[in-house]
Amino acid sequence: MSKYLFFLYSKGLFLSFLFWVGLFLGPLNASARKPNVLFILVDDLGANDLGNEGSTFYESPNIDRIAKEGMKFTRGYATCQVCSPSRASIITGKYPTKHGITTWIGDATGEDWSKRGRYDFLFPPEYDRNLKASEITLAEAMKNSGYKTFFAGKWHLGSKGSWPTDHGFDINKGGWEVGGPRSGFFAPYNNPNLEQGPNGESLTLRLGQETAQFIEEHKNQPFLAYLSFYTVHAPIQSTEALWKKYRNKAKKMGLIKNDTRFVFDRRLNVRQVQDCPIYAGMIELLDQSIGTVLSKIDELGLRENTIICFTSDNGGVSSGDAYATSNLPLRGGKGRQWEGGIREPFYLKAPGVSSPGSSSLIPVSGIDWYPTILELCGIKIPKQQDVDGISLVPLLKGEKIEKRALFWHYPHYGNQGGEPSSIIIEGDWKLIHYYEDGRDELYNLAQDTGEATDLAYKYLKRTSRMRKTLDSWLKNTDAKFPTRDQQFDFGKRKARWENIQTRGKEILEKKHSDYLKEDYQPNQDWWGSSID
């Protein structure tokens, strides 16, 4: 012990000395601690399904808060129009052509596709049905750097042996091979990785509670909390109280008088209005759940040391599945090649880096989450991981990034009317190449958000140049392509489409009108919930 410390000790001042040392060093240690990360991924949430995105029917104050406190990317994209490919891209930083999952896991391929009775022209190619063990996921990279990693909710990236705990997550609450809630959104659940809750418990609220509990238990170490909701995927299920709330709201807004909610667009009927009270209730439960997690972060004093990311895996379901929402003014929705199928809410709050209330018009992609989060956490991208994305940190700081093209490849048919196609976006220009007939469509998104006017023949040189760039990318990433069904019957397909446009539309209109009737009665597997 030095003479100085001996003097302090002899005078009974040693404990006071330690107190002041701790006082000055404590903040330094706190600031040196790596930031926490809360990543929130919603299933099938549309680009315009939130209050801050312009919805006047749905209510989302907690999610809106994330957008207001961080940076909002107004042209944020998923890497695919369906879920599994986009989810794999987020945690690998790669395009679907490179990680190999090019459609939702469980989708039919080859001749099996023709057994679905849709009379399509092409056979979709095979794809990887499990996330490769060789991928160094975001969770693995962070775990290797001292982070505690947690996953809650939908996984859908492979069967047993390729679940969250096989890809870097220490804890898994509810993630397994299926893409939807096997027994619906209220307990009892049919999920091998989620303990049973009391009958009527909301799965959506439960996942938020599990995440908040994890944060409470690991508040003293850096963590990655990956909250991946099953909602707002079908089946659409709400509570009686929330159904009544939004049914009454629709009435006040004059929406109940609507007798035409759908228009036929190429292959399926597409919803044109946001007025479904059940879906609105799902949005509110989602928002409540996220509010639970945000409140826990605030309560524990972690607000200034927690990065918060928010996005969706594909567009809102305007056709197919539950036909639950409208993405207007964007065309199409989940499963489709237009903006409604791939453009998403895309928010990033990075305290000390992003400015509250800031926004960016630069097109960004799901491949960018991986390098961005790692840079914010001071972690280098693993050399073995061939990442396609770029860090968005310069944009968060108000700086620029190099111009680049973004790409999509979906050689499959979507359950929601999507067509086998590939896409390239360069700035405001978007080219879609179709595999059934080899045609190209060209849109200027700045002037034509709804992709109503095809400019391919007006701008032949631009179309040709963008197509060459797209073809080169497809070749360099070993993309797989569909093949022709030699038994294709055009007459049968035409008859099917005509039936969808007539009888199918009548059924849809009645079903969705019934949602707003005072005596509406839903399926008994969820109406018994007492949660409000």
Of the ranges 8-17, 79-88, 480-489, which one carries the lowest mean pLDDT score? Answer: 8-17
Rounded distance between C-alpha atoms, residue 468 and residue 465, angstroms: 5
Per residue in 81-108, is it b (16+ CB within 10 Å) or e — as a string? bbbbbbbbbbbbbbbbbbbbbbbbbebe
Query: How confident is the model at residue 16, as a pLDDT?
Result: 41
Query: How confident is the model at residue 32, as a pLDDT?
Result: 67
pLDDT at 524 over 90: no
> Quick check: 193 and 184 in contact, CB under 8 A?
no
pLDDT at 21 over 50: no
The proportion of the chain whose per-residue pLDDT surpasses 90, expressed as a percent, equals 89
pLDDT at 3 over 50: no
What is the pTM (predicted TM-score) of this model? 0.92
Query: How confident is the model at residue 259, as a pLDDT?
Result: 80
Q: Which of 194, 179, 443, 221 is nearest to 317 (CA)?
A: 179
Query: How confident is the model at residue 317, as a pLDDT?
Result: 98
C-alpha distances out from residue 284 to 224, 298, 323, 441, Å: 25, 21, 18, 37
Rounded distance between C-alpha atoms, residue 518 and residue 276, angstroms: 13
Beta strands, E only, 280-355: 306-312, 343-344, 346-349
Query: How confident is the model at residue 123, as a pLDDT?
Result: 97
Helix (H) or strand (E) holding 205: helix 203-217
Average pLDDT over residues 57-69: 98
Q: How confident is the model at residue 31 (pLDDT cuts 50, 70, 90)?
A: very low
Average pLDDT over residues 133-137: 98
3-state secondary structure (DSSP) of residue 500: helix
